[in-house]
């Protein structure tokens, strides 16, 4: 029997429907190949511009960390039905000049990931240009193959 291709799978989650679909794909791949899934939720408390001078990045960080705990708990529940080894982590960007994309790249490098699985919202045109695309940005700098699952 040949070795499975994807032993270390990094799963990027954000609590969205596309992340739930990505979770199912990552768990299926890990179960099939006897791999491990490391789920990560990135907190980027600098992602919103200050509104009228009333912006507390620490308060936003606490809210985003709670969202991350909920999203990762959902991954744990999805894993319960599978025989997959999983670990979870909340990562924070390093400051205003850092990005979710760079944080995910660092996580993939530290894990020595064989594959990164992430969802995408599939926005087009102006909404994508304004909001940006973490999936597209990550595809450009990923140190390993990426499976993008559309919501």
99-121: pLDDT as tens digits: 999 999 999 999 999 999 999 87
- Listed by start position, the domains of the chain span 8-150
Closest CA to 86 of 20, 24, 27: 27
Q: Residue 23 has what pLDDT? A: 95
Average pLDDT, the chain: 85
Q: Given pLDDT bands bounded at 50, 70 and 90, which one contains residue 128?
A: very low
What CATH architecture applies to the domain 8-150?
3-Layer(aba) Sandwich (3.40)
Contact indicator for 12, 25 with CB cutoff of 8 Å: no
Q: Which strand (E) or helix (H) includes residue 23?
A: helix 17-33
Q: Which residues partner with 86 through β-bridges?
A: 37
pLDDT in tens, 34-71: 899 999 999 987 665 555 455 677 787 888 899 999 99
State how far the alpha carbon of 125 is from the alpha carbons of 4, 9, 29, in Å.
38, 31, 32
Per DSSP, the chain holds a count of helices (H) and strands (E) of 5, 5
What proportion of the chain, given as a percentage, has pLDDT over 90?
Answer: 54
Q: Around Cβ 80, how many Cβ atoms within 10 Å?
A: 10
pLDDT at 74 over 70: yes
């Amino acid at each position: 029997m040949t070795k499975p291709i994807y032993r270390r799978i990094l799963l990027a989650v954000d609590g969205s429907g596309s992340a739930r679909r990505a979770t199912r794909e990552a768990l299926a791949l890990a179960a099939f190949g006897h791999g491990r899934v490391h789920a990560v939720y990135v907190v980027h408390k600098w992602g919103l511009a200050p509104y009228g001078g009333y912006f507390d990045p620490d308060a936003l960080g606490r809210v985003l960390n709670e969202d991350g705990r909920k999203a990762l708990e959902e991954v744990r529940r999805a894993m319960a039905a599978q025989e997959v080894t999983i670990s979870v982590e909340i990562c924070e960007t390093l400051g205003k000049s850092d990005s979710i994309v760079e944080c995910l790249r660092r996580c993939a490098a530290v894990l020595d990931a064989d594959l990164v699985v992430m969802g995408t919202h599939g926005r087009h045109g102006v909404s994508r240009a304004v909001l940006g695309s973490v999936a597209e940005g990550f595809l450009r700098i990923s140190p390993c193959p990426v499976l993008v699952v559309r919501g």
